[in-house]
Amino acid sequence: MNATPLFYIIIAIIVIDFIVDKILDALNAKHYNDPIPEKLTDVYDQVEYQKSQDYKTTNYKFGLITSTFSLVLTLVFLGLDGFEFVDTIARSYSDHPIIIALIFFGIIMLGSDLINTPFSYYQTFVIEERFGFNKTTKATFIMDKFKGLLMMALIGGGLLALIVWFYDVTGTHFWLYAWALVAVFSIFTNMFYARLIVPIFNKQTPLEAGDLRDKISAYANSVGFNLDKIFIIDGSKRSTKANAYFSGFGSEKRVTLYDTLVNDLEDEEIVAVLAHEVGHYKKKHIIFNLIASLLLTGLTLFILSIFISNPLLSNALGVDIPSFHVGLIAFGLLYSPISELTGFVMNHFSRKFEYQADDYAKNTYKSEPLVSSLKKLSKNSLSNLTPHPAYVWVHYSHPTLLERVRNLRKN
């Protein structure tokens, strides 16, 4: 290999990112055994608390092993000019840039998926199983993998092919066309996510008439929110962990409740969770996130267009023939500190929005049922009640349970 300065910069970025991540993990792990804040002492009893400590420690150790393994593998792959090897294979099948890019990414994606599968298998069938969360059967696990790969091939492959084609036809202006494509695609998936993507993996049924539906309708009417689409999803097919989310907009807007959530919570608590979700919609968080991510994508594509035709990018990965697809990988690695930074800023906004949605639920419904639902959900997923502030700052998209309870109970 003939290493260029850019190669060493890429290695440095990967290693520094790993070290920073491990420091944050270690800081967080040091606080696993902190005394539980007084406001939260009713979340766990002694046995459950011990179980949650074990769960956190097990996941911490497992994360340390997998991330170290993946770091070593990445460094070895880069050191041995792995990308040049894969590029040569792809070029042996075709000389069309789109076909080469598809084969190249196909091999990389399939390879990394094959390597990751034993780890996710262990996570699901050993760790989650041991703590009583896992409901996934082996058949579901295999089908999920298969469907995931197929979707990646069709959607990811389709988008990639179009973007490489834009680059071939329009040169550096490709970024504008790519941006328009990504924008149309993400608005479309946002809108029809529940109709098109969810049914591939789950069964959804409309919430049937009855007490719960009446209570939800009464709340929705009281805030002038037209909510006729409420669905129950069979989350229990995979895990006992519960969730609820909002998707779509306009006539496609709907709320989806996990069946596990409906089982774990009282009606009032479910309405409170729903009020929180309605808050996200009313406070325009969904539109904000969509626009912010479109602007970030545009910016990233624009910066990409400045550098992509520079052969230094491909050469940095030890690939002799410069190409769009190899340049894309090198750019992705070089850009990762910036995307970490934007992710960090987005997390900051997300935590702000969570408070606003909680406030909305408090002001238009009640705060206590939301407090008790958050506590139940934390208990049932064995959440960490004492995360380190630095870890929260970087990684958390939601405020901690303690912060949310404090906010909900303040006058």
Active site residues: 277, 358
Measured from the CB atom, is 128 or 354 closer to Zn ion? 354
Q: Which residue from 167, 162, 42 is spatially nearest to 102, judged by alpha carbons?
A: 162
Sheet with strand 254-258: strands edge to edge:
204-206, 230-233, 254-258, 244-247
Q: Which is nearer to Zn ion, 101 or 275 (CB)?
A: 275
In the complex, minimum distance from the CB of residue 357 to Zn ion, in angstroms, rounded to a whole number: 5
* Closest separation in Å from C-beta 216 to Zn ion: 17
Ligand-binding annotation for 354, yes or no, is: yes
Tokens 């295999």 appear where? 142
In whole angstroms, how close is the CB of 285 to Zn ion at the nearest point? 8
Nearer to Zn ion, 182 or 357 (CB): 357
87 versus 354: smaller Cβ distance to Zn ion: 354
Give the per-residue contact string, 347-386, with Zn ion (x = CB under 5 A; - = no).
-------x--x-----------------------------
State in angstroms the smallest separation of the CB of 354 from Zn ion: 5
How many residues interact with Zn ion (rule CB under 5 A)?
2
The minimum distance between CB 284 and Zn ion, in angstroms, equals 14
User: Closest CB to Zn ion among 160 and 357?
Assistant: 357
Task: Confirm whether residue 276 is marked as ligand binding.
Answer: yes
Binding-site residues: 276, 280, 354
Binding-site residues for Zn(2+): 276, 280, 354
The residues of the shown chain that bind Zn ion, judged by CB under 5 A, are 354, 357
